[in-house]
Structure 1
Amino acid sequence: MIKKSITVTEQQEEWIQAQLASGHYASDSEVVREAIREKQLRSAEIERIRAALIQAEEGGFASLGKDDIRRSVQDELKKNGGL
C-alpha cells in the first residue's frame, strides 16, 4: 500500500470518529478506503447508465425506462463483483 497524508474538515473528522466509534472500522484509513470504494462503484454505475442512455438515444427509442436501466446496471455490477 501507498501511504498518504490527507487533510479533512472538522465536520469530516467528526464523521470519521463516529464511524470508528460504531465499531465498524478499526482505523481512519479503513473509513477513508471504504468511502473511496463506494465513490468508485457509484462513478462506475453512473458511467454505465450514461452509456446505456446514449445508446438508447442513438437507437431512436429505448425498451427500458431509466429506472429499469439503473437496476440492470446495478445488477450487472453486483454480479461482476463491483469494480
Structure 2
Amino acid sequence: MTRQSITLANQNDEWLKKQVAEEEFTSKSEAINYLIKKARSQDDYVEFVRMKLDKAEKSGFSSKTKEELLAEIKKKLNV
C-alpha cells in the first residue's frame, strides 16, 4: 500500500480516534480506506443513475396513461 500524509480538521481527527477507540475500525487508516471505498461506490451508483435518466429522457414521452403504464409494469413483473 502507498503511504500518505494528510492533514485532518480537528473534529474529523476526533471522530476517527473515537471510531478506533470503539473498535469500529482497527486503525485510522482502515477507517479512511473504508470511507474512500464507500465514496467511490456512491460515485459509481450516481453515474449509473445518470446513465439511466439520460436513456429515459432520450426515449421520449409516453402517450400511455399512468394506469396503462402500471399494468404494463405489473405484467412484466408477473404481479
Deviations 1:25-52 (A, max 9, x none): 1111001000000000100000000000
- Say which structure, 1 or 2, has more relative contact order (CA 8 Å, 6+ apart): 1
Query: Across the two proteins, how many residue pairs are aligned to each other?
Result: 63
In percent, how many aligned pairs have the same letter?
A: 32
Matches within 5 A, 1:12-23: 12-23=12-23
Distance 1:39 1:57 in 2: 27
SS in 2 for 1:5: coil
Q: Which residue of 2 aligns with 1:45?
A: 45
Distance 2:37 2:6 in 1: 17
Any unmatched runs of 5+ in structure 1? 64-83
Distance 1:61 1:15 in 2: 48
Shift in CA distance, 37/61, structure 1 to aligned 2, threshold 3 Å: farther
SS in 2 for 1:54: helix
What is the Cα-based RMSD across aligned positions, in Å?
1.5
Q: Which runs of 4+ in 1 moved over 3 A?
A: none
Scaled by the length of structure 2, what TM-score is found?
Answer: 0.74
Scaled by the length of structure 1, what TM-score is found?
Answer: 0.70
Determine if the alignment matches structure 1 residue 36 to structure 2 residue 36: yes
Which structure has the larger Rg over C-alpha atoms? Answer: 2
Distance 2:56 2:27 in 1: 44
Any unmatched runs of 5+ in structure 2? 63-68, 70-79
